[in-house]
Amino acid sequence: MSSGQGQFNSSPRGEDKDIEAGTSSFTEYEDSPFDITSTKNAPVERLRRWRQAALVLNASRRFRYTLDLKREEDKKRMLRKMRAHAQAIRAAHLFKAAASRVNGITSSPPSPGGGDFGIGQEQIVSISRDQNIGALQELGGVKGLSGLLKTNLEKGIHGDDDDISKRKSAFGSNTYPQKKGRSFWRFVWEASQDLTLIILIVAAAASLALGIKTEGIKKGWYDGISIAFAVLLVIVVTATSDYRQSLQFQNLNEEKRNIRLEVTRDGRRVEISIYDIVVGDIIPLNIGDQVPADGVLVAGHSLAVDESSMTGESKIVHKNSTKNPFLMSGCKVADGHGTMLVTGVGVNTEWGLLMASVSEDNGGETPLQVRLNGVATFIGIVGLTVAGVVLFVLVVRYFTGHTKGADGAPQFVGGQTKFDHVLDDLVKIITVAVTIVVVAVPEGLPLAVTLTLAYSMRKMMADKALVRRLSACETMGSATTICSDKTGTLTLNEMTVVESYSGIQKMDPPDSSSNLPPTFTSILVEGIAHNTTGSVFRSESGEIQVSGSPTERAILNWAIKLGMNFDAVRYESSAVHFFPFNSEQKRGGVAVKAPDSSVHVHWKGAAEIVLGSCTHYMDENESLVDMSSDKMGELKDAINDMAARSLRCVAIAFRNFEADKIPTDEDQLSRWVLPEDDLVLLAIVGIKDPCRPGVKNSVLLCQQAGVKVRMVTGDNIQTAKAIALECGILSSDSDASEPNLIEGKVFRSYSEEERDRICEEISVMGRSSPNDKLLLVQSLKRKGHVVAVTGDGTNDAPALHEADIGLSMGIQGTEVAKEKSDIIILDDNFESVVKVVRWGRSVYANIQKFIQFQLTVNVAALVINVVAAISSGDVPLTAVQLLWVNLIMDTLGALALATEPPTDHLMDRDPVGRREPLITNIMWRNLFVQAMYQVTVLLVLNFRGISILQLDHKPNAERVKNTVIFNAFVICQIFNEFNARKPDEFNIFQGVLRNHLFVGIICITIVLQVVIVEFLGTFASTIKLDWEMWLICIGIGSISWPLAVIGKCIPVPETSVSQYFRINRWRRNSSG
Continuous segment of H or E residues that includes residue 638: helix 629-644
Written as one letter, the residue type at 200 is: L
Q: Cα(363)–Cα(771) distance, rounded to whole angstroms? A: 28
Q: Tell me if 823 sits within 8 A of 843, measured CB to CB.
A: no
Q: Cα(709)–Cα(730) distance, rounded to whole angstroms? A: 10
Instruction: Give the up-direction half-sphere exposure of residue 160: CA atoms within 13 A in the CB hemisphere.
Output: 2
Dihedral pair phi/psi, residue 751, rounded to 5°: -75, 170
Q: What residues contact 894, with CB distance under 8 A and at least 6 apart?
A: 241, 444, 447, 448, 451, 452, 850
Max CA pair span of the chain: 125
Q: What residues contact 104, with CB distance under 8 A and at least 6 apart?
A: none
Cα distance between the two ends of the chain:
34
Looking at residue 407, the DSSP 8-state letter turns out to be: T
Q: Cα(153)–Cα(156) distance, rounded to whole angstroms? A: 6
Q: Tell me if 463 sits within 8 A of 835, measured CB to CB.
A: yes
DSSP 72-89: HHHHHHHHHHHHHHHHHH
Q: Cα(838)–Cα(206) distance, rounded to whole angstroms? A: 52
Q: Cα(719)–Cα(639) distance, rounded to whole angstroms? A: 10
Q: Cα(452)–Cα(896) distance, rounded to whole angstroms? A: 10
Beta strand spans in 541-678 (E): 544-547, 574-582, 587-593, 599-606, 614-618, 624-626, 647-657
Written as one letter, the residue type at 69 is: L
Q: Cα(787)–Cα(804) distance, rounded to whole angstroms? A: 5
Rg (CA), the chain: 36
- 163 is annotated as an active-site residue: no
Written as one letter, the residue type at 245 is: Q
3-state SS assignment for residue 566: helix
Q: Cα(123)–Cα(109) distance, rounded to whole angstroms? A: 12
Omega before 770 within 30 of 0, i.e. cis: no
Residues 194, 485, 772, 890: which is the catalytic one?
A: 485
Q: Is residue 770 packed enough to be buried (19+ CB in 10 Å), middle (13-18) or exposed (0-12)?
A: buried
Nearest to 116 by CA among 148, 144, 161: 148
Catalytic residues: 485
